[in-house]
Amino acid sequence: MLHELPDDYPDPGQPLEEIKEACGVFGVYGEGEPVAKLTYFGLYALQHRGQESAGITTFDHQGQSHTYKAMGLVSQIFNEAILADLPGHIAIGHNRYSTTGSSQICNAQPVVIPTPLGDLALAHNGNLVNALELRTELAAQGVSLTSSSDSEAIAWAIALGVMETGDWIKGTMAGVRRCQGAFSLALGTPQGIMAVRDSYGVRPLVIGTLGAQKWIIASETCGLDIIGAEFVRSVEPGELIWLDGEGMQGHRWAEPRSKLCIFELIYFARPDSLLEEETLYTYRMRLGSVLAQEAPVEADLVIGVPDSGIPAAIGFAQTSGIPYGEGLIKNRYVGRTFIQPTQSMRETGIKMKLNPLKDVLQGKRVVVVDDSIVRGTTSRKIVQTLREGGAREVHMRISSPPVTHPCFYGIDTDSQDQLIAARQSLPEIATTLGVDSLAYLSEAGMLQATQTDPDRFCTACFNGRYPIPISDKLKRTKLMLECHDPSAVSPCLPR
């Protein structure tokens, strides 16, 4: 059964300026468990990874699949009655941000495809770099795709593999070998669930347990925590894991070449999620500490841009000795509104989300710490808000290097000509933002703070070194500038 909201369901819109992740995925195998409800809470915990649409597919003991998906936030889409209409002991869930494929209900997931062994439900986090080629190949095989997303192409590639091999595991491995790019997958079948990660491991994927032979797949460990599941381990790059009532089977489908997206550590993943047995909150504090060593400044107060800049701001304050305080209050209950603000509200813009504490800021020399700058529009409004709040000086510190290149692996970045650090020098950016000083964390400092092998991370958005080969045609869709010096703060000039 498939339930969808109509095509004219209102589009909730986008925040002012944020780097947007692709998606969050979740899966459950659990006899006797309310799998739809568990998936709801898992998606709720992973809401930060995708806020355009959400969906859940369950499988009952007769092998019948049941799907509900719609545009909007998890809490807006599902209720007790809808979850009760999703029976079974197997579930796959998905939160979506659009990268390949527009923000429409036809691109919402899970994608459900029929096979001779039963339905296949797929939830995908990442982005293929050979999506157009794969779609062309599938069309030549007689497949008629109904959406513009690369996720449907992955699902059909796997489904065709299952049809050819008559086996879920062999067919899935055959299908994903046709895919190039970033993909962390949660797959549901009538017999069990699968977790699959691309050979570079660009996007995270973890396995948890609720007890004997009850398994969870999640993009991050925070999705396990919310339902009381115990973390077992991460899915390795190039690995497929089959989970069912008999246990867990691991299969290597490609040689691993670990290149985890460094922005997962800096910004995307929730600060309470684990990586290498520590929370990302701890790593982000180290980023701020290194930043304070690299770019000291005389000031009275350190503040973070809520919420993602706060851990780095605390680390900056501890190392610099400058007191930490809250200077901006975030309205955490704004959510998404379908009511358009007035013109005057649009002009102030940022105060829908952030409001200054004027008595804290008055007359102070303020260091404001944020995780990144993309186009610079939001950063400029934050600086203006701090000055209006009474700050005497505003010094901006960024806990990552300048973003100079777009992502092709599942981050919804602008084309290169829209990235401020690709077009302007450091002094020019400081002038544009209206700050008294500006400094970014160095790439070496960012990698040093990981306290692990620096070669295991993808840092292409900072230096243009893409680990997964990208065709010239695809590059031209986002690379609009000619790059000369990948190590420079402003490495790109207009053609």
d(CA 194, CA 41): 20
Q: For residue 238, give the 3-state DSSP assignment.
A: coil
Cα angle 400, 406, 408; round to 5:
115
d(CA 303, CA 366): 7
For 189, other C-beta atoms within 10 Å of its C-beta total 24
In 3D space, the residue among 10, 49, 4 whose CA is nearest the CA of residue 146 turns out to be 4
In 3D space, the residue among 75, 40, 41 whose CA is nearest the CA of residue 56 turns out to be 40
For the record, the structure tokens of 91 come out as 């579930």
d(CA 310, CA 328): 11
Looking from the CA of 224 toward its CB, the CA atoms found within 13 Å total 24
Stretches where the chain sits below pLDDT 50 are 1-17, 101, 336-338, 483-495
Contacts of 160 (CB under 8 A, 6+ apart): 138, 141, 143, 171, 175
Q: Which helix (H) or strand (E) holds 320?
A: helix 310-320
Contact 441, 447 (CB under 8 A): no
Contact 195, 235 (CB under 8 A): yes
DSSP string, 124-190: EEEEESSHHHHHHHHHHTT----SS-HHHHHHHHHHHHHHHHS-HHHHHHHHHTT--EEEEEEEE-S
d(CA 52, CA 11): 8
Q: Report the pLDDT value the prediction gives residue 22, as an integer from 0 to 100.
A: 62
Give 165: exposed, middle or buried? Use CB within 10 Å, 0-12, 13-18, 19+.
Answer: middle
Q: Report the pLDDT value the prediction gives residue 276, as an integer from 0 to 100.
A: 79
d(CA 42, CA 89): 15
Q: Using one digit for the tens of pLDDT, what is the confidence trace for 163-185? A: 999 999 999 999 999 999 999 99
d(CA 492, CA 495): 9
Q: Report the pLDDT value the prediction gives residue 280, as an integer from 0 to 100.
A: 97
Q: Which residues are catalytic?
A: 23
CA distances from 104 to 13, 202, 384 (A): 12, 25, 35
For 463, other C-beta atoms within 10 Å of its C-beta total 17
Structural fold of domain 280-330+347-451: Rossmann fold (3.40.50)
Looking from the CA of 394 toward its CB, the CA atoms found within 13 Å total 28
| CATH 3.60.20.10 is held by the domain 2-258 | yes
DSSP string, 409-433: SS-BPPPGGG-HHHHS-HHHHHHHH
- Show me where the domains of the chain are located: 2-258, 280-330+347-451
For the record, the structure tokens of 487 come out as 């190590």
